[in-house]
Each structure stands twice: as structure tokens, then as C-alpha cells.
């Protein structure tokens, strides 16, 4: 499905006025200090502005200038002291990339990597991997004629004399049946040679002389009641090769291994599967302020990303090699990056331009190639993607938890999907249950739950908040300018969510 377009900027006067007011609120309270510092008496309003639009001062200034005569004189009225800047530029001075182009850049980066050789994996370890070769039947399925039901194997017309010995699944082929003879048989057991049909247990009865008779229900509709001496030829027998013959292609390469695929592979005779290897990931958690246990105290906060990212990355098809907490140590970061043998390094925090934001300087020191440096998306705009060396990449996630999720789904998911050989999910749209305010320039990713045929936006959408995403079925992709009630928006599924 294709999303219907949303204007790239507000075109309704009252919407423009709202953006002007909110931009001025940011500029007024900043006093030219850069990222907004909340002052007493304005905390509630400031927080509302930042969480809805996540504007910094440079963007707010540009917004005021670009919205036309309605904003004229506004800068003088708040004594603006900072020169305006292009709102599409990040704190590091590089032009930010649009959200769709950032995802495309991550896919291109993955396609540039030399594909590693496929590996033979035992069935027990293959779940979630992708087939590197066709799954071809190694035998006929079934491998011999088998009984589809519990009952009697019969030969010729009845009534039938019943053998004393029954036939069980897993036993060698029984002696051929003679005309007018029957033998008890279990589901899945190999039928004896010369068997005409299998008579279900509920469709047969024995008389006082021990002879077997077929009853009318076994003959199908339109027959009279009572007993009969005939059954349809081949009834309730699964003939050899009914499902497939040896050499048939059962599944093409590129198929993701599900529990059902494992069952089919086992039935077809496989002990191992030829698959693409999982991309290897190292996770580097940055920040001196992070605690690994206990309650936040003395300016320290709990690390939410260390516990959250590894299972999320595994759900995206990765093999997480390590999770290391490095604090705000530039040299430790450099050593960790240059010594990593992972296909992808994921860092958390440190992607802005502050005194302890070491990701950009580290990438410059090792001559990494920045492929994406900032993305026009909220939350998460300081995210980045770099090629650290041949066949290795680094995704820098912002430190705020929901912003990190945004970076994970924007840059890491497309790259890991291509490396793992997984197919791209089919895009789909749903109408919004409520309107969603947009950022004036950037895409927004908003947690939603799916209720029937509608996407319901959730509260707690701030960059540092996980309460909304923890209850969500997916993220709505809200274009710049926002989306109205009933308007279709694209949805990004979460890898564990069951939508319905």
C-alpha cells in the first residue's frame, strides 16, 4: 500500500501561528544558549514544546524567519542574540538526511558489504535464519503408502476376515493382504501390499463371527444406511509422494526459517540447513551517568539501553557478540571500535557535539567515512551511520531511550535486514484515530497501538520516554507538518508485536 501524501510544511494560518508561538517559546527561554534550558515558572510549557517538536534554538530561529510576515519583529521582541542556522543541520555542522533517504543509505551500506559464506546449521540452531540454498526434498513425502486414519487396511470387497496381528507405525512392511482380508492399522503405519483402502474405525463393525463390515457413512453422501461390502479404492491412504517427490524444490533461497520450515526440513530428511550467517554486533554503552542496578540517585540514572538493545538486535536477526559499558572515555571508545571484529558496532549516546560526546571525534581519528550524520526525524535526529573499515559499519544512537529506538529502526534495522538476507517488510498504512502534531521540518515516529482498522497514538512520546513504546504495536511515520484524524500513515512494526 502507498501512503497518501502530507504537505511538507503547514499551510493553514492558525497552524503557522502555533509554530511561531512555540518557536518563540524556545528562543525566548534559551537566551541564545543553544539547547533549551528550562527556567523556573515555564517548566510545563517548555517541556510541552520540546517533547512535541524537539526544537533547538537554531531551528526555532530559522522557523521564525521562514514563516513569513506573521513572525515579523518577533526576533527583536525577544532580544535574540544568536545568528540563525539552517534547521536541517546538526550540531556537528553536517547537513541532516531525510528519514527515507537515511533508511535507503543504510540499505546501500549493507549491499556494499561482501556477503559472507553460507554456513551449515543444525536444525535446532536455524530458527530465524535465512536459507542460503533451495530446500530440496531428499525423499518422497510420504516415503511410502501410509494410513491416514486409525482403522483397518482392507483388500477387495467385504465382508473381510480380520488378521490377528495389527500394523503399527514404525514397523517393517507387513505381509500382503489377500482378497477379502483386513488388518488393524494405526495412523501413519505403512499399508501392506495389495491394500485396497483403509476403513476408518468409526465406519466399520465386526459381526458375531468376527467378520468386518463397512457401514454406510464410509461410502459418502447419497448412499443408503445399513452395511455394505464395498469401499472406495484408495480411501484414507496417503500415497507415496503425495506431498512431494525427491528432488522437488520445497522452498526457495531467501526464505526465513520458521518453526514450520524446521518441521518441513526434518520431514524431508534434513539434519542441517545451509543458511546465511547472522550479522555480528558489538554494543558500546557510553555515559558516566549510567547505573546498572538499583534506583537513580545523586544525578545518576539507570541504563535502559544496555538491557533493551541486545534482545531487540537479536529480534532483528543479529548475533550480539558483546555489550560493553565504556563511560565517557574517548580512548576506551577508540580502542573498542578499532578492536571490534563485528559487522556492526552500535553505540549509545555521545553523538552530539558536547564536551563528552566522543563519537564524532573518534570516527575522525580512525578515518571513518560518515554516511549519515543526523537525520530529519524526531526523536533521534543526532543519529549517525559510518563505515569504520571495509565490511564494518557503526550506527551511533542518541542516548535518550526513545530516540535510540528511532535510530535503531531508522539505520540499524535496514542494515541488519540486508546483511541477514531477510526480505523487506511489506509497507502498510492505517488511518489515525487522533490527529498528531508534526515537526515543521522533520518526520516524527510516534508509538501507536492498533485497534481494529485504526492506529491510536499513545502518550509518553518524549525522547527519554519508553512508557509509550513499551505498550505499542508499532510506530507511526508522521510526515513534516503532522497528520490529521483519519489520515493514513505508514506503520513500522515492532519485531515482537502481533497486530490484530
The list of the chain residues with pLDDT below 50 reads: 1-22, 24-53, 55-87, 90-93, 218-225, 499-500
Residue 206: strand, helix, or coil: strand
What is d(CA 262, CA 267) in angstroms, rounded to the nearest whole number?
9
Q: Which pLDDT score is estimated for 497? A: 66
Q: Which pLDDT score is estimated for 343? A: 97
pLDDT tens track for 285-301: 998 888 778 898 888 88
Q: Which pLDDT score is estimated for 496? A: 78
Contact 442, 461 (CB under 8 A): no
pTM value surpassing 0.85: no
> Using alpha carbons only, how large is the chain's radius of gyration in Å?
33
What is d(CA 64, CA 70) in angstroms, rounded to the nearest whole number?
9
114 CB-contact burial (10 Å; exposed 0-12 / middle 13-18 / buried 19+): exposed
Q: Which pLDDT score is estimated for 208? A: 83
Residue 388 carries which DSSP code?
E
Q: Which pLDDT score is estimated for 429? A: 94
Cα three-residue angle 282-284-288, rounded to 5 degrees: 165
Q: Which pLDDT score is estimated for 168? A: 83
Residues contacting residue 380 through CB under 8 Å, at least 6 positions apart: 397, 398, 400, 402, 403, 404, 405, 406, 407, 410, 445, 463
Q: Classify the phi-psi angles of 350: left when phi > 0, otherwise alpha if psi is within -120 to 50, otherwise beta.
A: left
Q: Which H or E element spans position 261?
A: helix 259-267
Amino acid at each position: 500500500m502507498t501512503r497518501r501524501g502530507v504537505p511538507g510544511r503547514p499551510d493553514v494560518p492558525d497552524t503557522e501561528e502555533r509554530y511561531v508561538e512555540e518557536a518563540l517559546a524556545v528562543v525566548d527561554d534559551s537566551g541564545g544558549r543553544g539547547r533549551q534550558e528550562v527556567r523556573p515558572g515555564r517548566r510545563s510549557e517548555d517541556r510541552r514544546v520540546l517533547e512535541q517538536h524537539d526544537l533547538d534554538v537554531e531551528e526555532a530561529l530559522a522557523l521564525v524567519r521562514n514563516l513569513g510576515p506573521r513572525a515579523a519583529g518577533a526576533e527583536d521582541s525577544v532580544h535574540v542574540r544568536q545568528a540563525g542556522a539552517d534547521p536541517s543541520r546538526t550540531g556537528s555542522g553536517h547537513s541532516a538526511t531525510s528519514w527515507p533517504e537515511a533508511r535507503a543509505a543504510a540499505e546501500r551500506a549493507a549491499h556494499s558489504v561482501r556477503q559472507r559464506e553460507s554456513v551449515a546449521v543444525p536444525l535446532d540452531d536455524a530458527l530465524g535464519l535465512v536459507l542460503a540454498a533451495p530446500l530440496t526434498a531428499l525423499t518422497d513425502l510420504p516415503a511410502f503408502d501410509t494410513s491416514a486414519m486409525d482403522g483397518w487396511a482392507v483388500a477387495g470387497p467385504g465382508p473381510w476376515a480380520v488378521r490377528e496381528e495389527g500394523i503399527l507405525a514404525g514397523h517393517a512392511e507387513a505381509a500382503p493382504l489377500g482378497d477379502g482380508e483386513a488388518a488393524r492399522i494405526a495412523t501413519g503405519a505403512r499399508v501392506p501390499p495389495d491394500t485396497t483402502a483403509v476403513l476408518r474405525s468409526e465406519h466399520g463393525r465386526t459381526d458375531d463371527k468376527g467378520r468386518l463390515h463397512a457401514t454406510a457413512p464410509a461410502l459418502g453422501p447419497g448412499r443408503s444406511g445399513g452395511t455394505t461390502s464395498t469401499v472406495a479404492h484408495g480411501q484414507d491412504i496417503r500415497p507415496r509422494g503425495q506431498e512431494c517427490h525427491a528432488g522437488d524444490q520445497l522452498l526457495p533461497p531467501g526464505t526465513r526459517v520458521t518453526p514450520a520450515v524446521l518441521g518441513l526440513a526434518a520431514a524431508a530428511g534434513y539434519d542441517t540447513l545451509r543458511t546465511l550467517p547472522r550479522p555480528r554486533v558489538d554494543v558500546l554503552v557510553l555515559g558516566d551517568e549510567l547505573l546498572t542496578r538499583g534506583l537513580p540517585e545523586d544525578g545518576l540514572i539507570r541504563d535502559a539501553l544496555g538491557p533493551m538493545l541486545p534482545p531487540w538486535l537479536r529480534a532483528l536477526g543479529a548475533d550480539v557478540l558483546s555489550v560493553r559499558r565504556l563511560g565517557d572515555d574517548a580512548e576506551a571508545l577508540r580502542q573498542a571500535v578499532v578492536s571490534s571484529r563485528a559487522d556492526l558496532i552500535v553505540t549509545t549516546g555521545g553523538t552530539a557535539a558536547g564536551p563528552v560526546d566522543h563519537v564524532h571525534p573518534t570516527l575522525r581519528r580512525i578515518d571513518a567515512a560518515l554516511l549519515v550524520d543526523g537525520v530529519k526525524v524526531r526523536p533521534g535526529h543526532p543519529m549517525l551511520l559510518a563505515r569504520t573499515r571495509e565490511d564494518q559499519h557503526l550506527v551511533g544512537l542518541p542516548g535518550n531511550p526513545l530516540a535510540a529506538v528511532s535510530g535503531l529502526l531508522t539505520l540499524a534495522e535496514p542494515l541488519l535486514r540486508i546483511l541477514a538476507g531477510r526480505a523487506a517488510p511489506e509497507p502498510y498504512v492505517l488511518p489515525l484515530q487522533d490527529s498528531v502534531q508534526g515537526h515543521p521540518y522533520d518526520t516524527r515516529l510516534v508509538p501507536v497501538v492498533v485497534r481494529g482498522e485504526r492506529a491510536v497514538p499513545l502518550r509518553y512520546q518524549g525522547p527519554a520516554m519508553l512508557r509509550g513504546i513499551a505498550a505499542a504495536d508499532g510506530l507511526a511515520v508522521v510526515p513534516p507538518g503532522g497528520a490529521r484524524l483519519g489520515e493514513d500513515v505508514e506503520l513500522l512494526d515492532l519485531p515482537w508485536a502481533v497486530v490484530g
